[in-house]
Amino acid sequence: MADAKTIGAFTEAVTSLPPNKRYILTHTPAGVSVVHSSPPQLYHGREGVGGMARSYATSTLPPILANDADITAYLAENGPASHKGTNIVIGPGEVAGVHEGNGKGGATLLVVDIAPGGVSQMHRTVSVDFSICVLGVVELALDGGEVLTLNPGDHVVQRGTMHQWRNGSETEPARFVAVTLPCEAFEVGETGRSLREEHLEGTGKVGRDGSKL
Beta carbons within 10 angstroms of residue 36's beta carbon? 13
Is 138 within the bounds of a domain? yes
Cα–Cα distance measured from residue 89 to residue 105, given in angstroms and rounded to the nearest whole number: 8
Q: Which domain holds residue 103?
A: 24-199
If one compares 82 and 210, the residue with the highest pLDDT of the two is 82
Q: Does residue 159 sit in helix, strand or coil? A: strand
Name the burial class of residue 188, with classes exposed (0-12), middle (13-18) and buried (19+) by CB atoms within 10 angstroms of its CB: middle
Would you say residue 7 has pLDDT above 60? Answer: no
Is 10 within the bounds of a domain? no
- Mean pLDDT (the chain, rounded): 91
Band of the pLDDT at 62, cuts 50, 70, 90?
Answer: very high
The mean pLDDT value for 6-34 works out to: 89
Is 130 within the bounds of a domain? yes
Is 74 within the bounds of a domain? yes
Name the burial class of residue 60, with classes exposed (0-12), middle (13-18) and buried (19+) by CB atoms within 10 angstroms of its CB: buried
Show the beta-strand stretches assigned E in the chain.
24-27, 33-37, 43-46, 50-57, 108-114, 123-124, 127-135, 138-142, 147-150, 155-159, 163-167, 174-182, 198-199
Half-sphere exposure of 45 (CA within 13 A, CB side): 30
Cα–Cα distance measured from residue 49 to residue 10, given in angstroms and rounded to the nearest whole number: 15
Is 68 within the bounds of a domain? yes
**Distance of alpha carbon 141 from the chain centroid:** 17
Is 8 within the bounds of a domain? no
The mean pLDDT value for 23-38 works out to: 98
- Domains in the chain: how many in total? 1
Cα–Cα distance measured from residue 213 to residue 32, given in angstroms and rounded to the nearest whole number: 38
Q: CATH number, domain at 126?
A: 2.60.120.10
Cα–Cα distance measured from residue 149 to residue 51, given in angstroms and rounded to the nearest whole number: 20
Is 7 within the bounds of a domain? no
Is 124 within the bounds of a domain? yes
